[in-house]
Amino acid sequence: MLAITRGKTGVVGLLRRMVRWRVGLQWYAAALLLPIVVTLTAVALNILLLGAQPSSSAAEFGGLPSVIPTFFILLLIPGIGGAWEEPGFRGYTLPVLQNGSSALFAALILGVLWALWHLPFYITGVDDSSEMVQIIAWTVTFAWLFNNTRGSVLLAMMMHAMSNTIGVASPPKCSRGRTQ
């Protein structure tokens, strides 16, 4: 699509944003730590407010030693972990949507599109349809990161890979008094 709408210069620009790594260290921290903080906060709130039972061992946490290799697999291999959605969603679509509208409005529109992109996962039961709201909220966060890193698709890919890595490594979803 980019080659059709913007030609060779558009494609080269996207490729440059996909390897834009010269951003402040605080943005690497945001991309890598924010998914961890959000997940741990959600787990803690689930335990404290909903009465879910905490995991009783590190083994139930999904094997923390596998987090780093899992992160790199999800980041580097297209089609496995979703990080390669970012060139299309953040690299192409977000800038187009932000042209003439606010970053928040563009992110909300993109969030709905991204949630619909995951519709096959809801239909097949791989994901719960309640995750649509979560996807829209994450889209606003991704737009914030993207815009503050001068359009670094690489950092968005890293955040996406870490979010999926933590989703794989985190404890099972909990309900009141038992784990599912």
* Model pLDDT for residues 59-70, shown as the tens digit of each residue: 455 556 678 888
SS3 state of residue 106: helix
Q: Report residue 151's pLDDT band, with 50, 70 and 90 as the boundaries.
A: very high
CB atoms within 10 A of CB 136: 18
Residue 177, pLDDT score: 42
CB atoms within 10 A of CB 162: 24
Comparing 178 with 47, the larger pLDDT belongs to 47
What is the rounded CA–CA span in Å between residue 84 and residue 90?
10
SS3 state of residue 87: helix
**CB–CB of 159/39 below 8 Å?**
no
**pLDDT at residue 56 tops 60:** no
Stretch 30-48: mean pLDDT:
89
Q: What is the pLDDT of residues 97-144, one digit of tens each?
A: 999 999 999 999 999 999 999 899 888 988 787 788 889 999 999 999
- Angstrom CA distances, 106 to 89, 99, 114, 153, stand at 11, 9, 12, 16
Residue 65, pLDDT score: 65
Phi, psi (rounded to 5 degrees) for 178:
-155, 160
Q: What is the pTM of this model?
A: 0.83
Comparing 136 with 180, the larger pLDDT belongs to 136
- Percent of the chain exceeding pLDDT 90 equals 49
Comparing 95 with 169, the larger pLDDT belongs to 95
Q: Name, in order, each residue with C-beta under 8 angstroms of 88's C-beta and a sequence gap of 6 or more.
A: none
What is the rounded CA–CA span in Å between residue 51 and residue 49?
6
Domain definitions of the chain by residue range: 2-179
**pLDDT at residue 93 tops 90:** yes
Residue 112, pLDDT score: 96
